[in-house]
Amino acid sequence: MAGPLTSPAKRRIRDSGTVAVSRPIADTKKPHGDESQAVSAPKNLVLMWVGRLIVTVVVLGVWQLVYVKKVFNPVVTGSPVEVAKFLVDNLVTSTKLWGSVGVTLWTTLIAFVVGSGLGIGCGLLFARSPKLEHFTNPFFTGFNSVPRIALAPLFIVWFGLSQVSSILVGVSLTFFILLSSTMAGVASLERDATTLLDTLGATERQRFFRATLPAAVPTLFSGLRLGLVYALLGVVSGEIIGAPAGLGEKLSYFAGSFETDAVFGVLIVLGVIGAVIQGVMTLAERKLLRWQ
Amino acid sequence: MGNIVSDSGNKSVGIAIDSVTHRFGPGQLTLDNVSLNVEPGEFVAIVGPSGCGKTTLLNLVAGLLPTQEGTITLANEQPRPGHPLVGYMLARDALFGWRTVRRNVELGAEIRGQDEALREIRAVELIRQVGLAGYEDAYPKALSHGMRQRAALARTFCLDVAVLLMDEPFGALDAQTKLQLEDLLLDLWTRERRTVLFVTHDLNEALVLADRVVVMGRNPGTIRLVVQVTLPRPREARMLQSDPHFHDLSATIWRELEGGMGPWLDR
């Protein structure tokens, strides 16, 4: 398989002659199709959420029942009530877990900024100099083929049990994602646009800031979104393998001491962090890419 | 109707093409000893089948390709890309999706460092003239194909240059939109006389627009026929479609091409 460096540029398909997108036509069989749809849309949504709530309650109920009836070893299964208690004890009545949340967030942010900075920088450099890209391609492809989590023990040997190891795992993941999306983004400028800029006599600077960069933004942004998710993944993995603090370290510690409720609690916190990160990126994307 | 703010009126520039020969690789003679003089302010259309080298000739004049043999002179200079007196328009609009219509129309003028206030006035006026008033702040995504090409036309005229090089600018449009845009081009050109070299594969389009029609043939690419178009101006593309005079002219040229030079469409 070709590495991400050679992956073809994501080509946006130029909109062809079609003038307007046909609108979905209201159901013509029913004379009052419009009205009934207007009423039923929010109703469906309510039903959907009621359904989701029921599923959640049932799953949690069965889980609690398994715990109370001791169907399996209660130490192994944990219970939703105990998980909730853990979360309240550590996040609301005390701030014990907030420190770990802070450490993981900071570490993720550093890994993200460093990794995407290096990735975008390298991507732009390679876009400018295809020869350099060609020369270094096997090295990067080779490095990218190593499962990066497997590097964590090496980082620990080099940097000890510190956040540096976690940061490096995050960086090594984020870097390649941004490298390939930057190169794909830069390549997404259409040929016609290049010809137009040629005939206008645009300088390198004008080309880059007025065409190449804005054309690359959509692809770059999906890279950043993925990069942030992978920075979190890398950092938490690094923390699990060996770090003095952070949610990953807590996860590893709680699992080691069979505190299943706490493990679930930390997992929920990580899930929420992931969801918030995605939400923020979606919002920023919508604001930045209104023209799409 | 208000006039466009323009200072290109006195910058009339002709194009002199002298014995130009061009090869893409050994044995592939794309242009063979082509000579053509375009007078300042003249509208010349080059017609020919695909592969006759008409776009190559245009790209040589634009400086997008280096001249191999012969000479091309434009305002006492050799062609070069980005010549400040030359504007170029492509078959596809090449609008930037992230720029609004107004900012797209301003693009060329902006890149060439024209005064910001002036280019904005021009852009808004041109957007109105190409019939896109109200769409100044729309993104290209919201425009139909014809509207996009209108915006591209406005962008080309916003450059305020003496020479316009157009490579099948309406080639990708449907028949009706094409006629509308031909009228629009005639209208803009009548207001602001420029030297135009217009490449097309549509003989009727060439006759509607140009003062002179240059017919090219292929293998090798040479000029087969030059026709002075005697149709009176101002012309209207849509009116001419039902003008017997216009059809006579078109038929005569076809006959000459088929009789004198063999089938030009397939050789």
Q: State the pLDDT confidence band at A24, using cuts at 50, 70 and 90.
A: very low
pLDDT at residue B135 is higher than 80: yes
Asked whether B53 and B22 are in contact (CB, 8 A), the reply is: yes
- Class of CATH domain A78-288: mainly alpha
* Cβ–Cβ below 8 Å for B87 and A199: yes
Using CA coordinates, name the residue in chain A closest to B59.
Answer: A199
Of A164-173, A263-272, B9-18, least confident by mean pLDDT is B9-18
Q: State the pLDDT confidence band at B261, using cuts at 50, 70 and 90.
A: low
Q: CA of A199, closest CA in chain B: separation in Å? A: 5
pLDDT confidence of residue A40: 65
List chain B domain ranges.
9-85+168-261, 94-160
**Whole-prediction pTM:** 0.76
Q: How many Cβ contacts (< 8 angstroms) between chains A and B?
A: 73
Of A5-9, B39-43, B181-185, B224-228, least confident by mean pLDDT is A5-9
How far is CA A182 from each of CA A85, A117, B266, rounded to the nearest angstrom?
45, 11, 46
* Cβ–Cβ below 8 Å for B112 and A215: no
* Cβ–Cβ below 8 Å for A192 and B92: yes
pLDDT confidence of residue B257: 72
Q: Which CATH superfamily is domain B9-85+168-261 in?
A: P-loop containing nucleotide triphosphate hydrolases (3.40.50.300)
Please write down the long-range contacts of A80-88, taking CB distance under 8 Å and 24 or more positions apart. A82/A261, A83/A261, A83/A264, A83/A265, A83/A268, A85/A261, A86/A261, A86/A262, A86/A264, A86/A265, A87/A265, A87/A268, A87/A269
Strands B15-23 and B29-38 come out as antiparallel
Judging contacts by C-beta atoms under 8 Å, the chain A residues touching residue B96 are 193, 210-211, 214-215
How far is CA A196 from each of CA A199, B60, B106, rounded to the nearest angstrom?
5, 15, 13
Chain A contacts in chain B segment 58-97 (CB below 8 A): 62, 64, 81-84, 86-88, 90, 92-94, 96-97
Q: Mean per-residue pLDDT for A175-187?
A: 94
Of A59-63, A283-287, B181-185, least confident by mean pLDDT is A283-287
Of A130-139, A178-187, B56-65, B238-247, least confident by mean pLDDT is B238-247
ipTM of the complex: 0.85
pLDDT at residue A13 is higher than 90: no
